[in-house]
Amino acid sequence: MESGRIILTQGRLAFTIDRLCHQLIENHDLFENTCIIGIQPRGVAFADRLHQRLTSITHNPQIAYGKLDITFYRDDFRHREKPLRASVTEMDFLVENKKVVLVDDVLYTGRTVQAALTALQHYGRPAKVELIALVDRRFNRDLPIEADYVGIRVDALDEAYVKVEWMEAEGEDKVLIFPHKE
């Protein structure tokens, strides 16, 4: 893939995560009845960072945190050229009557979030579900889904591709935009 343009550097990304954590704390205090759930696969790296930072800021190591696989809940999973590989769901709690914060890295068409909402139903009926997205591609929605918390909004053509890179996987924290996905 040709090189993309950096739209969030490592420093700005860290600042954005801190801002989002403080917004979450304003609305959920110490997270007594709130859980954080990262959407597999790409939302989990962002959720890991949020959970680590929230634990540090609130001094609450008991913030419920899970990782939700949505592979077979997607409306397009049978229309792929290659077989899909499911990720592992790691949730040792039910969401019954809890506030849930779903976490994804890029909100694009809304289909990933729709699949996550469907998958989440297997873990109970939440009192409330909120969505946090690091990047919101706000003009490319197929479904009426909107994030409650947004790191950065990007206006891009349909052909453009937004990628979040994390230190743990790609060696550096940054958000890039490419003119098209190859």
- Whole-number pLDDT of residue 88: 87
- Enclosing domain of residue 109: 5-25+33-72+86-178
- In-domain check, residue 160: yes
- Whole-number pLDDT of residue 80: 59
- In-domain check, residue 79: no
- In-domain check, residue 77: no
- In-domain check, residue 67: yes
pLDDT in tens, the chain (182 residues): 457 899 999 999 999 999 999 999 999 999 999 999 999 999 999 999 999 999 999 999 999 999 999 988 876 655 557 766 788 899 999 999 999 999 999 999 999 999 999 999 999 999 999 999 999 998 888 899 999 999 999 988 778 889 999 999 999 999 999 988 76
- Whole-number pLDDT of residue 79: 56
CATH number, domain with residue 135: 3.40.50.2020
- Whole-number pLDDT of residue 78: 54
How many domains does the chain fold into? 1
- In-domain check, residue 78: no
In this prediction the pTM is 0.92
- In-domain check, residue 11: yes
- In-domain check, residue 54: yes
* Alpha helix ranges (H) inside 29-152: 42-58, 111-120
Whether the CB-CB separation of 127 and 96 falls below 8 Å is answered with: no
- In-domain check, residue 41: yes
Whether the CB-CB separation of 133 and 161 falls below 8 Å is answered with: no
